[in-house]
Chain A
Amino acid sequence: GNSVTQMEGPVTLSEEAFLTINCTYTATGYPSLFWYVQYPGEGLQLLLKATKADDKGSNKGFEATYRKETTSFHLEKGSVQVSDSAVYFCALSTGNQFYFGTGTSLTVIP
């Protein structure tokens, strides 16, 4: 079946630290991959996406590369800020269905 597995949190980093949140997937066919961010009290917002193998999605300093050989889509940022504190969800789309990971909570401390 189709599924998304994210690293469990919570993750706590100091400002300007390097961030990696791991995401691996299982899917039939050729899925599209997404990262969403959820700030406290808000809905999910699309952060970035990649639609085929070796695509790199990027936005607001965040990046993720669609790796078909390792079925991964890890989220990275070189220097996190306090304002990046949020919950991050990895997701895939295949056929007419979306599948979400359970989310990874990130707290960035000054």
Chain B
Amino acid sequence: NAGVTQTPKFQVLKTGQSMTLQCAQDMNHEYMSWYRQDPGMGLRLIHYSVGAGITDQGEVPNGYNVSRSTTEDFPLRLLSAAPSQTSVYFCASRITEFGNQPQHFGDGTRLSIL
């Protein structure tokens, strides 16, 4: 059981480049989310999805785009990378958006923007 899988694990980009961070889960979870983790700031929610075809913005959505065409996959796109987007990105999933179930996290993508 792979759980939540994120690729790549590490990436270096130049300012202005675009890229897609991949996230896949094999637990048939309806709810998926993207966070960024920065020193001293904990986890901040970027975007989330409560099911295929439905996405919504979190706390820090600017500069990021998401789509959810299948239950399994929830890619995060950086449209034009900026140094302020240097961070560690985590994808997470949960059975449903409500209730008392925890979120399950991937191992993260460490992204550096030069």
| A residues adjacent to B (C-beta < 8 A) | 32, 34, 36, 41-46, 49, 51, 89, 93, 95-98, 100-103
Partner of A46, one of B4, B43, B97, B102: B102
Partner of A102, one of B40, B102, B108: B40
Interface centre among B50, B99, B103, B107 (most CB of A within 10 A): B103
Partner of B42, one of A41, A45, A51, A101: A101
B108: A residues at CB distance < 8 A: 42-43
In the complex, what distance in Å separates the CA atom of A103 from the CA atom of B4?
Answer: 22
With both beta carbons as reference points, the residue of chain B lying nearest to A90 in the complex is identified as B42
Instruction: State whether B42 touches A103 (Cβ < 8 A).
Output: yes
Contact with A along B29-50 (1 / 0, CB 8 A): 0010100000011110100001
In the complex, which residues 56-114 of chain B have their Cβ closer than 8 Å to any Cβ of chain A?
90, 92, 97-100, 102-108
With both beta carbons as reference points, the residue of chain B lying nearest to A47 in the complex is identified as B102
Instruction: State whether A102 touches B97 (Cβ < 8 A).
Output: no
B41: A residues at CB distance < 8 A: 102
A46: B residues at CB distance < 8 A: 102, 104
| B residues adjacent to A (C-beta < 8 A) | 4, 31, 33, 40-43, 45, 50, 90, 92, 97-100, 102-108
In the complex, what distance in Å separates the CA atom of A95 from the CA atom of B98?
Answer: 6
Instruction: State whether A96 touches B97 (Cβ < 8 A).
Output: yes
In the complex, what distance in Å separates the CA atom of A49 from the CA atom of B102?
Answer: 8
A96: B residues at CB distance < 8 A: 31, 50, 97-98
A32: B residues at CB distance < 8 A: 99-100
